[in-house]
Structure 1
Amino acid sequence: MSLSDIGAAALRRIDPETAHGLALRLLKTLPPAARSIDDPVLQTRLAGLNLGNPVGLAAGLDKNGEALRGLAGLGFGFVECGSVTPLAQPGNPRPRLFRLSEDQAIINRMGFNNAGLEAFAERLMARPSNAVVGANLGANKDTQDKAADYVTGLKRLKGMADYVTVNVSSPNTPGLRALQGRAALDDLLGRLAEARGDDPTPVFLKIAPDLTPDEIALIVEASVDHRIDALIVSNTTLDRPADLRAPDRSEAGGLSGLPLQERARLALAAAAAASAGRLALVAVGGIDTGAEAYARIRAGACAVQLYSALIYGGPGLVGRIKRDLADHLRADGFASVTEAVGTSR
């Protein structure tokens, strides 16, 4: 076990949100790391972006873009920061983050707590040049026209990130998930397309796992119609599997981690079937091994993202997943991740 993994184990013994803050402070103090050279078999392309490896950090850990240099040094192929809203907001009252250790899961109802778009943009201006960085956009809780908040974020961050994610799937902002309906989505994505103009920066859409295959198919069609470059499948779930054991299993909020695995797999399968190669896909939810990352890639994902698994596996998990994934690719005769995408469909 590495020193970083020992530190992660120590952080799991204290209040989750306090531990989160301490982890960010530690990451901010790490010196800039040289860009690691990944195994060539791990190379992939995601919506026109060249990635040294397909293992990314999901949004939520670094909401304000404070620790991008430290995070980039952990071996991720790409790092997504946010969610950021136009105006700073405190989020929901504490406690709002719960560790379900017995289930290898997390429940959060953070509520898009962040320091606002201007502070976020300032930090992105100084982001590491040797990392692929994405910016995840949210909407303020009290905004009546939530689509306008996404347009504001897209315009303000123009040219500052390698890609931008439109997060319409957090369960912790009232009314946000309603934007996944076709009429509301057409309005949102149409306004984003107009604001985007000829800017080549890829725009991703992050969707909920609590959707039927038909609903996912509608989102795919809207995304294709409005030039969305990729879907991130998926966010946290409101579902509570009957076999959860941890004392905090009934807390309100979005559930992530291992119990989300099967639901996220099904959502990815629906998105892959509906998109039929027209839309890049990023798989998230319950990915904690190289074997699981490989399964999602073969199911149609160009890349994967982690967050909750890091809480239990420590930062060394990134390297372990990459090594295991490389072994799986070679065992099946693939020369790169790109070759393996969608081969089990």
Structure 2
Amino acid sequence: MNPLYALARNALFALDPETAHRLSIKALKSGVLPGYATEPNPRLAVKAAGLHFKNPIGIGAGFDKNAEVPMEVLRLGFGFTEIGSVTPRPQQGNPRPRIFRLPADRAVINRLGFNNEGHATVLRRLRAITGQRPGPIGVNVGANKDSDDRIGDYATGISVFYDVADYFTVNVSSPNTPGLRDLQARETLTRLVNAVHEARTACQAAGKAGKPVFIKIAPDLTEEDLENIADVAGEHSADGLIVSNTTLSREGLGADRHLGEAGGLSGRPLFERSTIVLSKLRRLVGPDITLIGLGGVDSAETALEKIRAGADLVQLYTGFVYEGPGIVAKILSGLSRTIRREGAASISDLRDSRLEEWSERPIPR
């Protein structure tokens, strides 16, 4: 960790997590945080789902919920960024406090509940972006908690942001909106995928280019659940899956005063579970569907393991909280060293190299 960030983190961690997060967004807006990435390495570039990524490391949804700093995030060196989750109408989310740090475990528990400023505000900000984007900007769409038609909310998100998003993520895996994870069940997931594809098809019929859509799933799934998701993905020629959202499990955590807080757990303790689920899905869907690995990534080693377990691309968020904005440059340097050491032509050549080992592990219960 950068010594300067170590000092800054101590100050930030003395604050309420949401206050600290707002300060981080303001720092990016003001230009206080410089770019950290080294010269681009062509061997880190990835082509996936019809898009070009200068490197495989992105920041996950949740950091820049309202599209306040997507270009600034990309200038830190990330290969892509994902804003949201965004719902049609603004919503406050769950009562505060709703984010809890577990420093000894390098983890966070959150029960935010899709707090965001809504489609109109986020759309205005994304439309204001001019010039060439340093990398793809994805929009993670969600449904309002009190919606009478959650599937319709997702389809609306596709239509509203179609001109400003490089890709979409359909978030059906947050544990903090009651009943949302039920959309991962085979029948409802099929209806959701159909609705989303219809919205995309309507945009393409108007002469617009195709945009990939990813489904973001939970790590708290059974082998049967994964088989059903893989079947739906195959039947509907899905562009890709993001594995995974936060977990409800508290397995392996040390003693902490926040241990009993409700919400989804992210960070280092999620790494093994999410990587096993990722690898099992890769075995099920085959080599062609794009998979994005998320959960517990905080170093070049953990990012590389996601790729070896089947990921084309990797996202992080909690690792950014603990390691600071220099994390992406450290990961990219480590990946570049590995490519040189192993004589690989590209980072994609390392994908699946430990797929069998990871996929044979049981999903923790």
Instruction: Look up the equivalent residue of 1:146 and give its one-letter code.
Output: R
1:167 aligns with 2:168: no
- Which of 76, 79, 82 aligns to 2:78? It is 76
Matches within 5 A, 1:1-345: 1=2, 3=4, 6-30=7-31, 37-127=39-129, 129-197=133-201, 198=204, 199-345=209-355
The normalised TM-score by structure 2 is: 0.91
SS in 2 for 1:91: coil
Instruction: Look up the equivalent residue of 2:219 and give its one-letter code.
Output: P
Instruction: Look up the equivalent residue of 1:15 and give its one-letter code.
Output: D
In 1, Cα distance between the equivalents of 2:227 and 2:324?
A: 35
- 1:249-282 residue CA offsets vs partner (Å, 9 max, x unmatched): 1100000000101111111111111011131100
SS in 2 for 1:300: coil
Structure 1 gaps of 5+ residues are none
Determine if contact 2:38/2:329 at 8 Å carries over to the other structure: no
In 2, Cα distance between the equivalents of 1:207 and 1:117?
A: 22
For the structure 1 residues 34 and 57, does the alpha-carbon distance in structure 2 shift closer, same or farther, using more than 3 Å as the test?
A: closer
Determine if contact 1:81/1:133 at 8 Å carries over to the other structure: yes
Determine if contact 1:55/1:304 at 8 Å carries over to the other structure: yes
- 1:96-140 residue CA offsets vs partner (Å, 9 max, x unmatched): 000111110000000000000010111111236223111101110
For the structure 1 residues 213 and 330, does the alpha-carbon distance in structure 2 shift closer, same or farther, using more than 3 Å as the test?
A: farther
In 2, Cα distance between the equivalents of 1:329 and 1:36?
A: 16
Determine if contact 1:29/1:70 at 8 Å carries over to the other structure: no
- The offset of 1:167, in angstroms, is 0.3
Percent identity, aligned pairs only, is 45
- Give the equivalent residue in structure 1 for 2:359: none
Instruction: Look up the equivalent residue of 1:221 and give its one-letter code.
Output: D
Determine if contact 1:103/1:246 at 8 Å carries over to the other structure: no
SS in 1 for 2:332: helix
- 1:185-238 residue CA offsets vs partner (Å, 9 max, x unmatched): 011101111111134111111000000122112112212222321100000001
In 2, Cα distance between the equivalents of 1:35 and 1:289?
A: 15
SS in 2 for 1:250: coil
For the structure 1 residues 69 and 34, does the alpha-carbon distance in structure 2 shift closer, same or farther, using more than 3 Å as the test?
A: farther
- 1:139-168 residue CA offsets vs partner (Å, 9 max, x unmatched): 100012210000110000012111010000
Instruction: Look up the equivalent residue of 1:217 and give its one-letter code.
Output: E
In 2, Cα distance between the equivalents of 1:81 and 1:134?
A: 6
Aligned length: 345
- The offset of 1:330, in angstroms, is 1.9
Instruction: Look up the equivalent residue of 1:17 and give its one-letter code.
Output: E
My pick for the range that moved more, 151-160 or 240-249, is 240-249
SS in 2 for 1:278: coil
- The RMSD of aligned alpha carbons is 1.8
The normalised TM-score by structure 1 is: 0.96
In 2, Cα distance between the equivalents of 1:43 and 1:131?
A: 11
In 2, Cα distance between the equivalents of 1:235 and 1:273?
A: 20
In 2, Cα distance between the equivalents of 1:302 and 1:218?
A: 21
